[in-house]
Amino acid sequence: MNEPQSFVHCVPPLYDKNSETLILGSFPSAKSREARFFYGHPQNRFWKLIALLFNEEIPQTVEQKKHLILSHNLAVWDVIHSCTVTGSSDSSIRDVVPNDISEILQNSKIDRIFVNGATPYNLYNKYIYPQTGIEAVKLPSTSPANAAYSLDRLAKSWKIILK
């Protein structure tokens, strides 16, 4: 059984001055921490979903993933700066220190914030919304743990991110 461990976020926010839509997750999974990039677990459907929504090839490399996000004026980061977590389980997250998203907001055109699942939505509302006053829209999680949602069902919900 995994023991709870404390981690500090190891991936910088992905955005540029043209980013208009921010997508926030909770905290990098063990596989993402290993890959040092967002949604690194091969079973997470995030990259397949974003590629599907924008009718693009599924990115394989970090550079391709960055290009996919930035070329569609998106931004990606997480709600949590540091926490205690067991493995990759969002339900085990404790001792949360939130990320400060003001850098992204001040240096981009972000006018919409979406969150990838219930955990980041709840944490956003608790820690970040009081600072930003920007309401976030909760989307169904792309995690493989969210087996109730097929890729097509996710796409129907996530198409709201398209401008």
Please give the pLDDT value at position 92: 86
Residue 56's identity, in one-letter code, is E
Helix and strand numbers, DSSP H then E, in the chain = 7, 7
Q: Is 63 exposed, middle or buried (0-12, 13-18, 19+ CB in 10 A)?
A: exposed
Q: Could you state, in order of their start, the residue ranges of all structural domains in the chain?
A: 5-158
- Mean pLDDT (the chain) is 94
pLDDT at 80 over 60: yes
> H helices within the chain, ranges in order?
30-35, 46-53, 62-71, 102-106, 118-123, 129-132, 151-158
Please give the pLDDT value at position 30: 85
What is this structure's pTM?
0.95
Homologous superfamily assigned to 5-158: Uracil-DNA glycosylase-like domain (3.40.470.10)
* Dihedral class, residue 95 (left if φ above 0, else alpha if ψ from -120 to 50, else beta): left
